[in-house]
Amino acid sequence: MLPEPIKKFVAVFSRLPSIGPRQATRLAFLIASFGKTKIKEIADAVNSLDSLTTCARCFRTFTPSAGAGRSLCSICSDPTREASLIAIIEKETDLLSLEKTKQFHGWYLVLGDLRKTGELEPEQKLRLQSLKKFIEKSLGGKAEEIIFAINPTVYGDINSAFLKKELVDYAKKITRLGRGIPTGGEIEFADENTLGQALEHRN
């Protein structure tokens, strides 16, 4: 019943978070109704994502400077940032929210979405290992402070406890965002004032 292009669209987009086969099918027909010019505009926007790369230090997605061949994003290559102050976050959208507060001047580690079991995925283990090596080689074995900027949920508590065991020997101080963010809330959706208070009152 479904045209082949719709089937291909659904097969790809139904694998995205929060989009199942039914939602992907609706989206496919909606985009198909836009006409060729708008469809090409959407396709070009998706294709442009191919120019992005991943920061070798914090694993944030960024656009490298033309011809520079940089492996570090603008934050990790900024000499004015405090290298010994590191915030561990799940998503890049959390990083964007923290940056909007203008109260955090350190570096980040983007771990990716954490599991509810408190166990890390293989890629997350590699990222954590990369942080440890950086601390050992560039910070003399201990960061000044590592902040767990993780959502204040039951699962966030479980993951924070696990990460603390992994990093307790790599920082003089390990803190977590203050409870300015309501329990069960998400960093990504917190307003700047609330998130700023959570940063200020971390413990």
CATH number at residue 154: 3.40.1360.10
CATH number, domain with residue 14: 1.10.8.420
**Structural domain count, the chain:** 2
Residues 23 and 78 in one domain: no
Q: What is the domain extent for residue 122?
A: 69-200
Looking at the fold, whether 105 and 167 belong to one and the same domain comes out as yes
Residue 166 confidence (pLDDT): 94
Q: For tokens 């979405």, what's the residue?
A: 113
The two tokens of residue 36 are: 């060729």
pLDDT in tens, 141-197: 999 999 999 987 888 888 999 999 999 999 999 998 866 565 556 676 666 666 666
Per-residue pLDDT tens digits for 102-130: 999 999 999 998 888 778 999 999 999 99
Q: Tell me what the mean pLDDT of segment 66-88 comes to.
A: 85
Distance, CA of 75 to CA of 77 (rounded, Å): 5
Assess whether 77 and 172 both reside in one domain.
Answer: yes
**Are 94 and 173 part of one and the same domain?**
yes
> Residue 202's pLDDT is what?
74
Q: Are residues 137 and 82 in the same domain?
A: yes
How far is the first Cα of the chain from the last one, in angstroms, to the nearest whole number?
58
